[in-house]
Structure 1
Amino acid sequence: MATHRYQILSKICLLTSLSILSSSLYASEKTVQEIVDAVNGTPDLASREAGKKVKLRNHAKGFCTSGYFAPNPKLNEQLAIPFFNQSKIDVTARFSMGGTNLHASDKTSGRFMSLKIDGDKENLNFVTTNSPVFFAGNLEDFFTFQVKVKQGPEGKQWLIDNKPDAKAFFDFVKQLPPTASFANSPYFGVNSFLFTTPNNDVVAGRWIFEPVDGVVNLSQTQLAELADDFLKDELLTRIKDKPAVWNLFIKLAEKDDEINDPTVLWPETRQRLLVGQVFINGERDTELTTQECGKGIFNPVLLPKGIAPSADPILNARTPAYIESFIRRQ
């Protein structure tokens, strides 16, 4: 069993250009295994083994589709990223709900989009959410949040009373209405990345996807008329007629902006660069790589030349945690 586990891990690391990481997550006292257990709600051996049998994972309810990315040709005037010099790049997308429940209702407000943009020689992955507000700035708080929310209302209230970042997140989500479609939702990369300029300077930025058709929210009356599983059919039906399209921007940090803490929002006045447009049209949905995209991982630090991860501990914990979750699902 252990040999099989590390054969899988080695394969993933080769595919994602990563070395095998230690079980210790940087400066955190929490291991990769503990972080994944907190997310999955599997705090002991019995629940962990039960979770493996049902292939327990976060964002369990979701589906894959496909399209392409069209880079903005003017971007190379501001950033030196050869990857974006291509004219059209294949995209594999997974849209999902949060949590481990395969039958979660689409009537909740959370919307998530993960993308794989596969270029000629390099790749770029995204892991995004429709909330620009994140609930933890370090791995200890991330672990605590995951454990407490699974305790129900009492745990949530503890977070509100004791963790300001969690309270800010809950306050934001409370007023966030459900969108009518995955296509009518914005998506945010809450973590920061470092981008190289033509002068070999480095600037920090965060990803933002804005829907070209605008944000369309549902009223409670409209929501009551819908089934709990309306989002998948809505998007796949929509893209038969025309693609779902997002403008992709990089929101740039200024000198004193905090780039290693995803709970810190930058002012809306910050400069934004148009990177290009994502078109989801289902053009490769019959291909096996699209149909099975949910079985793999979306690695946000699989980056082309000219883009590097920041020192954000949440960002740098994502890939080893995703790999651990992947291994458990085998």
Structure 2
Amino acid sequence: MRTNRLSLLIKTCLLTGLSVLTSPVFAADISISELVDAVNGTPDTASREAGKKVKLRNHAKGFCTSGSFIPNPKLQQSLAIPFFEQAEIPVTARFSLGGTNPHSSDRGAGRFMSLKIDGDKESLNFVTTNSPVFFASNLEEFFTFQTKVKQGAEGKQWLMDNQPNARAFFDYIKTLPPSVSFANSRYFGVNSFLFTANNGDIMPGRWSFEPVDGVINLSQTQLEKLPTDFLKAELLTRIKQQPAAWDLYIQLALPGDEVNDPTVLWPDTRQRLLVGQVLIDGSRDNETATMQCDKGIFNPVLLPKGITPSADPILNARTPAYIDSFIRRL
């Protein structure tokens, strides 16, 4: 069994651009397998095996499409990241909803965008959500949150009463209306990364995507008239006419800002650097990378030279957790 699992790990690393030797070393009271079980709602052997049979995964409802990324040439005046010196870079995108239900209603507020930007020699992946507020500052909180939300209203109330970060997240979600399209949502990378400046300084920052067409939300009346599966058709129809576009920014921290806790928001007054623009137009939808998008993972710590992960425990748990989940689906 252990030999088979190692073989699967090696296969996964080949498919996802990871190295077996350089995968993050992870120390915590909660194991990676337990984290995946908490997300999947598979706390015992029977449910875990049943989950494997149906290839259970988070963000089960989603679809892939494609486009390109145009770096901002002025970024080179600030950051020493050769990856962004390319003129245009292919993009594979996956838009999704949260949760393990592949039949979730699109009428909820949650929107997620994952990207693979594959350059000539390096790649950059993004895993983003339309909420800048995250619900857990460490793995124990993350595990408890995922376990309790599977218990329904009682579990959610427990979180509201006992975990301030979970309460802040739920309070924010209450105020977040559903967008009319994936294309009209802002997206945030809640985790921090370390960026190398031209003078050699290390600058902590977070990713954010601003929709070029603006944030446009649905009223309750509009929402009630829509089917439960409108988001995919809407975006794929839209991009036949014109690309869906987002400006990509790095929000920079100042000394004293909390870098390793994704629940801590930085003030809107923090400087932002324009990195470039993502254009989703479906132009590469017939290519293998797009058609097989669902078969791999989006690895947020697959980074080009000049960008490294912060010490955020949530960030550094993502890749091994994604690998564990991926292996269960093979």
TM-score w.r.t. length of structure 1? 0.98
- CA RMSD, 1 decimal: 1.3
State whether residues 24 and 30 of structure 1, in contact with CA within 8 Å, keep that contact through their aligned partners in structure 2: no
Rounded Cα–Cα distance in structure 2 between residues aligned with 1:21 and 1:91:
25
Instruction: Establish whether residue 29 from structure 1 lines up as the match of residue 29 from structure 2.
Output: yes
Give percent identity, aligned residues only: 72
**Which residue pairs with 2:131 in the alignment?**
131
| Misfit runs of 4+, over 6 Å | 21-24
**Which residue pairs with 1:92 in the alignment?**
92
**Which residue pairs with 1:327 in the alignment?**
327
**Which residue pairs with 1:18 in the alignment?**
19
**Which residue pairs with 1:281 in the alignment?**
281
User: What is the DSSP-based 3-state SS (H/G/I as helix, E as strand, rest coil) of the residue aligned with 2:205?
Assistant: strand
Q: What does residue range 146-225 of structure 1 map to in structure 2 within 5 Å?
A: 146-225=146-225
Deviation at 1:16, TM superposition (A): 2.1
State whether residues 114 and 125 of structure 1, in contact with CA within 8 Å, keep that contact through their aligned partners in structure 2: yes
**Which residue pairs with 2:246 in the alignment?**
246
User: What is the DSSP-based 3-state SS (H/G/I as helix, E as strand, rest coil) of the residue aligned with 2:132?
Assistant: coil
User: What is the DSSP-based 3-state SS (H/G/I as helix, E as strand, rest coil) of the residue aligned with 2:276?
Assistant: strand
2:5 partner letter = R
State whether residues 21 and 320 of structure 1, in contact with CA within 8 Å, keep that contact through their aligned partners in structure 2: no
Deviation at 1:152, TM superposition (A): 0.3
Deviation at 1:12, TM superposition (A): 2.5
**Which residue pairs with 2:297 in the alignment?**
297
Rounded Cα–Cα distance in structure 2 between residues aligned with 1:262 and 1:139:
12
**Which residue pairs with 2:75 in the alignment?**
75
Structure 1 unmatched ranges of 5 or more: none
Rounded Cα–Cα distance in structure 1 between residues aligned with 2:10 and 2:292:
20
State whether residues 90 and 118 of structure 2, in contact with CA within 8 Å, keep that contact through their aligned partners in structure 1: yes
State whether residues 35 and 143 of structure 2, in contact with CA within 8 Å, keep that contact through their aligned partners in structure 1: yes
1:111 partner letter = R
Deviation at 1:183, TM superposition (A): 0.2
TM-score w.r.t. length of structure 2? 0.98
**Which residue pairs with 1:46 in the alignment?**
46
Rounded Cα–Cα distance in structure 2 between residues aligned with 1:259 and 1:252:
10
Residue correspondences, number: 329
Q: Deviation string for 1:146-184 (max 9, x for gaps)?
A: 000000000000000000000000000011000000000
Q: Deviation string for 1:88-121 (max 9, x for gaps)?
A: 0000000000000000000000000000000000
2:19 partner letter = L
Rounded Cα–Cα distance in structure 1 between residues aligned with 2:314 and 2:179:
27
State whether residues 24 and 316 of structure 2, in contact with CA within 8 Å, keep that contact through their aligned partners in structure 1: no
Structure 2 unmatched ranges of 5 or more: none
Rounded Cα–Cα distance in structure 1 between residues aligned with 2:202 and 2:24:
30
